[in-house]
């Protein structure tokens, strides 16, 4: 049974919005499931991070898409992040050496 069938069986209200966006609400109007803006899959509210100003107080992307995006960001910026770290290391190292040099001259 798909999540949609399950939600319908539990008598949640199915609502649709333009561009294939679907969501389900309970009797209190609370969003119990909605379509992820990225992968387009209908997912239960527990698969979304909380976002107070989001639709149904949920983030627009499911947790899977959020972690995929974070990993992609890291992969894309891996070289740059490495360079930043290395530059910091070099600067600290140079500082350390110049201090030692100064100590030796005393």
Residues that bind Zn ion (CB under 5 A): 36, 38-39, 62, 65
- In the bound complex, what is the minimum distance in angstroms from residue 20's beta carbon to Zn ion? 13
Least distance in angstroms from the C-beta of 62 to Zn ion: 3
Query: What three-state secondary structure class fits 22?
Result: strand
- Distance between CA 31 and CA 33 in Å, rounded? 6
**Which helix H or strand E contains 82, and what residues bound it?**
helix 63-105
- For 45, the 3-state DSSP assignment is helix
- In whole angstroms, the minimum distance from the beta carbon of 30 to Zn ion comes to 20
Residue nearest to Zn ion (CB): 36
Nearer to Zn ion, 25 or 64 (CB): 64
């Amino acid at each position: 049974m798909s999540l949609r069938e399950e939600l319908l069986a539990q008598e949640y209200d199915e609502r649709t919005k333009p561009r294939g966006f679907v969501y389900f609400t309970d009797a209190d109007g609370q969003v119990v499931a909605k379509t992820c803006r990225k992968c387009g899959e209908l997912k239960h509210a527990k698969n979304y991070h909380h976002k107070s100003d989001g639709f149904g107080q949920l983030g627009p992307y499911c947790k899977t898409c959020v972690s995929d995006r974070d990993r992609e960001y890291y992969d894309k910026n891996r070289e740059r992040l490495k360079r930043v770290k290395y530059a910091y290391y070099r600067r600290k190292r140079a500082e350390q050496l110049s201090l030692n040099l100064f100590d030796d001259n005393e």
